[in-house]
Amino acid sequence: MRRLLPLAELARVAARALTAAAPPSPASIGLVLSDDAQLAELNERHMGRPEPTDVLSFPLLELSVSAAAEHHEPVFSLPPGQRLHLGDIVVSVERAIEQAEMGRGGQTGNVTWSPADELRLLVVHGVLHVCGWDHADTHAEASMRALERRILDSEDA
């Protein structure tokens, strides 16, 4: 699989998204870099759609954006020093490359930028989903897209 970014950079991107989403802290997420075949299999099994997708998120906690913003603690306690695992994200690097090269990136399907930029966005997008953000309606989508832009813009600063 083609490496678009150093793993340390992907970890920094994910950490910025976690900070912006403000889930209970300390927390962790899992990030799996994969390909279209695995994403198609997961998409069919979990979403009922037999085609590849760019990113899937598997949250382990019932977090809402409002709960995350209020820094609600989990309903159970962990042993001292343990991090709360929020969930996992699986990203198709193959799909990130294709979307970027075809000018179908940016989660809106009309952004032309590098495959590395598309991968950064997909990681941010997945982290936000694990933290309770969604784009089911126009208002929620606008809010999520604005936060994604702020997170990605903060990387450039």
Domain extent, residue 95, equals 7-156
pLDDT, residue 38, reads 96
pLDDT tens digits for range 20-32: 998 888 889 999 9
pLDDT of residue 44: 95
Domain count, the chain: 1
Per the structure block, which two tokens stand in for 13? Answer: 């991107």
- Which CATH number does the domain housing residue 20 bear? 3.40.390.30
Domain annotation covers residue 2: no
Q: Are the C-beta atoms of residues 51 and 108 closer than 8 Å to each other?
A: no
Query: pLDDT digits over 71-115, tens only?
Result: 445 455 667 778 889 999 999 999 999 999 888 877 777 778 899
- Inter-CA distances, 10 with 30, 54, 79, Å: 12, 16, 28
Does residue 132 fall inside a structural domain?
yes
Contact call for residues 148 and 124 (beta carbons, < 8 A): yes
For 30, phi and psi rounded to 5 degrees?
A: -105, 140
Burial class (CB in 10 A: 0-12, 13-18, 19+), 12: middle
